Chains A and B, each alone.
Chain A
C-alpha cells in the first residue's frame, strides 16, 4: 500500500489570517494526507524543526502580510542545513505575481495565490 503523504502546514510571522490555510488542511485530510498543522506565529526555526521531527514530505507556507520574501529564504536555508532540501515546498496567500519567479528560484516548487481552487492545490501537493 502506498504510504500516505505527510504535509506540514504553517504560517510564519505575526499575521493570523489563517482561513485559507485551515481550509487547505481540511481539504488535504479529506484527500487522505496526514496533516501536521504547525499553526500561526511560527518562526522559521520552529517550522524547520517540526518538518524534520515529523519527517514530512511536503511543507505548505501561507503568507498574507508580504513577508514571504523575508521568511521563505530563511526556511529554505534552514532546510538545506538540515539536509531536508528534498522537501516539496509550496507557498500560498497574497503573493504578487512578480514574486513567483523569485520564490521558485529559491527552491519553492509552486505558488498558489488567493483564489486558487482547492482541488488544484491538493492535486499538486499530494497526488
Chain B
C-alpha cells in the first residue's frame, strides 16, 4: 500500500486506519530542498572538517556559528511584527499597540498603490488603498504614521521593496528632519530591493536599470549621512516564497545583493564603507533542520564572497546580517489555528540559525490581514522562545551536530554551484532579463504543487488529516472598512488643492532637472525637497520616469500635471 493511500485511509477514522497510523513512518526521506537524508550521521560525515577555517567560534570569520561572539547573551534578536493597514492614523495605533505588547522594533508595511508609486486617487488604486498595508501617498501620511514615535530612539524597518523605496525612505527621514532630529542618529532598515520585486509584485513599475539606480542612491546617501541605517535589506524571502529551494534562496539573494554592490562601487563608493550596512531578509520554512543549516551556510558563504570576491577588509563587511520572516506560504486557511504551531517551528529555526531580527507571521494571514489578537500571539511566540525556552543562552547550540554540519556543507556547495551558473549568464540582472529566473521559479512552483497533490509532501489540514470545511474563519476576519479608502482619497484630493502649488511646481522642476543629469546624480535630496512641498508619491515617481524617457504613469492612465 502506498504511503499516500495509508494517510488517506487513516482519515477514514476506521480501526484499520488506526492500525496504519500505529505503524506509520516518514515517507519523504529527503530535506525540503531534495538532499537525501541518511538513517544516522556520525563523525565520519564531518571527517576532516577544518574547525577554525570552515566553522570557527561565533564572532570569528567565516562566522558559520554567528556574527557575534556571545550572540543573544549580548542582546536578543530584534522582535518585530510588521504592521500596516488602512490610513496612517490606523497603523500608528497598531504600532503603539505592538509597542505596548513588547516589540523591540517596528516594521511598517505599505499598500500596493504605494509599492506601485501611484496616488490613492489613481483609478487603478480602487479597492486597494490601505488594504494590504498603509497608504503613503504624501509626507502628510508619513507624519501621521510616525506621530508620537521617537524616531531617534526606535529601530524602524520600512518594508517597501520596489523602486518606490527611495520615496518612502525619503518620507521617513524628512519627518525626522522636520522634527529637528539628526538623521545620522536614525536606526532602522529600508527594504531597498527592487530587483526581487519582479517576482513578488509581478512586472515592476520601473525597468531594472532605473530601479537599481534608485537603490544605489539610497546606499550612497546613507553611506554619507546615516551610519546606523541598514541601506538595503536584500529580499531572498519573497523569492523563496515562490517555491524555490533553500540553496536557490541563498544564491538568488546573494546574486541580487552583488548587483547592488557592483553598482555602488561603480558609483565610487568603497566597499568597506557600505557593505556593513547591507542586510538580508530570509525565510524560515518548515524543514526545521535544513533551515538552520541554510542560515549557517549563508553566513559562511557571504563572508567568503565579501572577503574574496569584493576584497572587503573590515570584518564588519564580511558579516551576513539578516532578518527572518517566517514562511507565509507554509500557512494554510484550513484549520488555521494549526498555523501557530508552524510559525513556532519556523521561528525556532530562525533563532537557532542566529537571526538578528524576527517577524513571526500571524496565523490568520492566509485569510486576511492580521488581527490584533493574532499579532499578539505572533509576538508572544517570539517572547516564549526568548524568555522561556533557554535556546538563546548559547551561540549556535546545534553547531557540531554531525547532521547539521554535513547539511551546512551541502547547502553551501549547492548554492556555490547556482551562483556560478548565474555568474556565467552575466549576473542576476541579466538572468532576470533573459527570464532564466522566471523559468526556475515556474518549475519550482509546479514541482511543489505536484508533490502536494500526490501527497509526497504532507500538509496537515490540506492533503491529510482534513476536516469538514469551516463555514466561518476561527478568530474572525480583520477587514478594512470601505470608508477608509474613500476618506484617504478625499484627504489626498484635498491636499492637492490646498498645498502651495508654486512650491510643488518648483521642486518638481528641480527633481526633473536632477533626474535628467543621469545615473550618477543622487536623487534623494531633490526627492526630499519635493516631499517637503507635499508633492505626492505618484508625482515624484512620474517625474523621474519621464526624465528617464518613460511614461509618467506606469499604467499609462494619468498624465503629468507639470
Contact = CB atoms under 8 A, between A and B. Distances in A.
Contact of A97 (B116, B462, B470): B470
B127 interface: yes
16 contacts: A14-B113, A18-B202, A41-B202, A66-B132, A66-B369, A66-B479, A67-B131, A71-B127, A94-B366, A96-B367, A96-B473, A97-B472, A98-B473, A115-B333, A115-B334, A118-B449
Closest 6 CB pairs of A and B: A16-B202, A70-B127, A14-B112, A67-B127, A96-B477, A65-B132
Interface of A: 13-19, 22-23, 26, 40-41, 43, 65-67, 70-71, 94, 96-98, 113-115, 117-119
Contacts of B202: 16, 18, 40-41
B332 interface: yes
Interface of B: 112-113, 115-116, 124-128, 131-132, 200-203, 242-243, 332-334, 366-369, 442, 445-446, 449, 453, 459, 461-463, 469-473, 477, 479-480, 555
Contacts, number: 86
Contact of B112 (A65, A98, A113, A117): A65
Given A22-B445, A94-B367, 20 more contacts: A14-B115, A14-B125, A15-B128, A16-B203, A19-B242, A23-B449, A40-B203, A41-B203, A65-B112, A65-B128, A65-B131, A66-B132, A66-B480, A67-B131, A97-B367, A97-B471, A98-B472, A114-B332, A114-B333, A117-B453
Contacts of B126: 70
Contact of B201 (A16, A98, A113, A115): A16
Per DSSP, chain B at the interface is loop
B132 A15 contact: yes
A16 B201 CA distance: 5
Contacts of A119: 453
Nearest to B125: A14
Contact of B477 (A14, A43, A98, A113): A98
Contacts of B366: 94, 114-115
A116 to B, nearest CB: 9
B424 to A, nearest CB: 27
B555 A41 contact: yes
A115 B127 contact: no
Contacts of A16: 200-203
A113 B472 CA distance: 13
Contacts of A14: 112-113, 115-116, 124-125, 128
Contacts of A70: 126-127
A26 B332 CA distance: 22
Given A66-B480, A94-B367, A26 B446 contact: yes
Contacts of A114: 332-333, 366
Contact of A13 (B128, B446, B463, B477): B128
Nearest to B334: A115
Contacts of A94: 333, 366-368
A101 to B, nearest CB: 9
